[in-house]
Amino acid sequence: MQSELPNMKIRKAIESDCPGIARVQVDSYRTAYAPIFPQEYLDHFTYEEQEGDWRGLLASADQGTVLYVAVDDADEVIGYALGAPSSEMPPYESELVALHVCQTYQGQDVGRQLVAAVSAALYAQGCQSLFLWVLADNPARAFYEKLGGVLVGKKPWENNEYFKLDIYEMAYGWPDIHKLAGPSGS
């Protein structure tokens, strides 16, 4: 698919992106997760606190952790993706930990390009494969299936007990991360 956003750029995140990443994250939680989680849970997330978490992550991240942003022509963050090497789901060697695209920019190839950038960076550091967790009721599952992901696991959501919910997460895997990284693999 041809990108409909010719001025959109994907680049590694820097500290000054943290407010924008937090804004995209919290807005995305409040919209995409509203049909899945109770309001009480979603109300826990604030721009300020998430910005602090992102600053902390960037300051202390392991060398293998990769955080990419998609920015518009004014260098405002419109999406982000976080990945890291992982041994949680052998034989998969890395995890896509988070992926969010601002609602107004969805359906314009930003998500796919963010996944490609993170996959290429993980591949460059030796990771051959990738997996991720996605909420069972999240329509984003169709996006991951479109990218060729196969179902490889299921687990209860980690806060089920605390919030008295019955929510599950599904794992999708890509045995060959190189395919996600794009034709050049870089």
Beta strand 77-85 pairing with 168-174: unpaired
Q: How far is CA 13 from CA 19, 40, 54, 140, in A?
A: 11, 30, 10, 23
* Nearer Cβ to ligand COA (114/121): 114
Residues in the chain: 186
State which of residues 80, 143, 172, 174 lies at the interface with ligand COA (CB under 6 A). 143
State which of residues 108, 131, 149, 170 lies at the interface with ligand COA (CB under 6 A). 108
148 binds ligand COA (CB under 6 A): no
CB atoms closer than 10 angstroms to residue 32: 18
Distance, CA of 48 to CA of 176 (rounded, Å): 37
* Nearer Cβ to ligand COA (96/127): 96
99 binds ligand COA (CB under 6 A): yes
Whose CB is nearest to ligand COA?
A: 111
- Interface ranges with ligand COA (CB under 6 A): 1, 28, 32, 99-101, 106-112, 134, 138-140, 142-143, 146
